[in-house]
Structure 1
Amino acid sequence: MSRWEPDARGRLERAALELYSERGFEQTTAAQIAERAGLSERTFFRHYADKREVLFGGAHLLEGAFVETLAAVPSAVAPIDAMGLTLEAVSAFFADRHDFARQRQAVIAANVELQERELIKLASLSAALAKTLRGRGVSDAAASLAAEAGIAVFKVGFERWVRDGSRSLASFLREALLELRVVVGPSR
């Protein structure tokens, strides 16, 4: 193996998904992932703390995109509308990643430990969004509710998009937000 390999993270990510899909998460080792990627096990651990993190390594980038986008929405926009605009903008993060997302979700769905890690990621994202909303002057309760509602919309829209990639993620997110508005109903 050469000392420097281009796109090591991407290669490890692809190799891990292939192996998790073929053998299952539990039966796959970091050494096997590195070997499939044509890299050393040491290189694997330079990029990831453990084999779970291959599936969650981009979580901080996603959270950053959500927070930065939400922070840039004018403060006059209602919290739930700000979340809607944020979801629409962040959907671009997933452009051309449908196959990866579908495969990743299948691996996560097959493993309770990974499902738990996914929920932790979403809870962390919700907390960051609520903090951002509070920074925009939204009350604690309203910020928490809007952030949780936004994450629920994201989760529902994302799951639908993973199952049916015939449309953009943004269209599924808009649809889920409209359904939330129907559930909540008009103010009384």
Structure 2
Amino acid sequence: MTFTPPPETAAWRHLGARTGFEVVYFRPTGRGGHRIEGCTTAVEDGMTWVVDYAIEVDRDWVTRRAEIRSRSVAGSRHTLLEGDGEGGWRIDGVPASRVDGCLDVDLESSAVTNAFPVHRMRLAAGDAADAPAAYVRAADLTVERLDQRYLRVAGDGPGQHYDYEAPVFGFACRLVYDGSGLVLDYPGLAVRAL
């Protein structure tokens, strides 16, 4: 399945697990990939935080670099993830075997990062695939492995529909994507605002 190119900008209203807003900008790179720059501000469990990010994906939507900054009452943090495109990672310059085999970065703070595996895998209706990701927590930017699974299903209405699972959280839902492969509805987390 081929998606249309992403728009110049997109936005999500975060609700349910947290209250907040995310804005993202897509910039094509000279190598056929994209640079995705965004910011999420939120209130969650009575705490406020801001996460700024710049993520580079190659032409196959494999994450190659993610620079992430966060701010909260606990202070400011920064981390840099660099992927070799084959599942090897360095976090702040140090090899990170705990996320070996992951091709995507998934930011806890973001709805846009669920676009990466869908673009990369290009599943046909009825097909499923595992998509482990280097998962970056919003509050402290710790990085851990997040096992995920996507099953493309025939859905009612426009767009593409995927049954999504993150077993470590006991979480499953149906994600709805637009023609450019961006989430329109992420139950319990976000809805597309633009």
Task: Normalising by structure 2, report the TM-score.
Answer: 0.26
Q: Which has the larger radius of gyration?
A: 1
Bigger helix share: 1
